[in-house]
Amino acid sequence: MERQKYPGICYYEQIDGKTVEITAEIPYEIPESWCWCRLGTITNIVMGQSPDGASVKNEGPGIEFHQGKIFFGEQYLRPSPQRTTRPTRIAPAGSILICVRAPVGVVNITAREICIGRGLAAVMALCNISEMFVAHWITARQQALVKEATGSTFLAVSADQVKNLFIPLPPQQEQTRILGTISQHESILKSLRG
């Protein structure tokens, strides 16, 4: 049996009606009022699927289409000229976008509905959890996703690997406080960059 990281503390998860100890999988200790969650239990996740190539054009009618991170901004997705008249998978406005193919784990948020291809997954936070909070934690856990990635031509992660990513979830008030602190630090960094 593997030695516990946190003596005296055990973590369990219910999987298909069975209780399974997951202590060895927990990355680090968190405050008592927080809980470790799998990303797939606190969000809805849609894996991208590319539309028929003939339906993708650089102008004209259709919904905006994104395949990877080429139009990722600092936090929010920039507009793409590509459009498709036959969308396959939709990321609603407010979705967190994760690159699931090289580079794995890069994150952005879309302020508008878009169609996503195989290089992206859309993550929609549930239960009034802030999408910005989840986006920051996915960014902080990027190396955990990269570690799970496989592939010989380029690294990629599966839907299950994205869903199983551990995220530490604090109460809503604490989420708000953390986001305020992050925002303050980002402002200071921007001012230092000039």
Say what the pLDDT of residue 89 is.
97
| Class at the top of the CATH hierarchy for domain 39-168 | alpha beta
Let me know: does 138 contact 123? Beta carbons within 8 Å: yes
The predicted model gives 107-113 an average pLDDT of 97
Element (H, E) at 55: none
CA distances from 52 to 48, 128, 143 (A): 13, 35, 32
Residue 60's region, left for phi above 0, alpha for psi from -120 to 50, else beta, is left
Determine the average pLDDT of the residues in 153-171.
94
> Model confidence at 142, in pLDDT bands (50, 70, 90)?
very high
Tell me the per-residue pLDDT of 27-44, one tens digit each, with 9 for 90 and over: 888 999 999 999 999 999
Q: What is the mean pLDDT of residues 70-75?
A: 95
Name residue 168's beta-bridge partners.
36
Report phi then psi at 35, rounded to 5. Answer: -145, 150
Q: How far apart are CA 122 and CA 83, in angstroms?
A: 18
Q: What is the pLDDT of residues 76-87, one digit of tens each?
A: 999 999 999 999
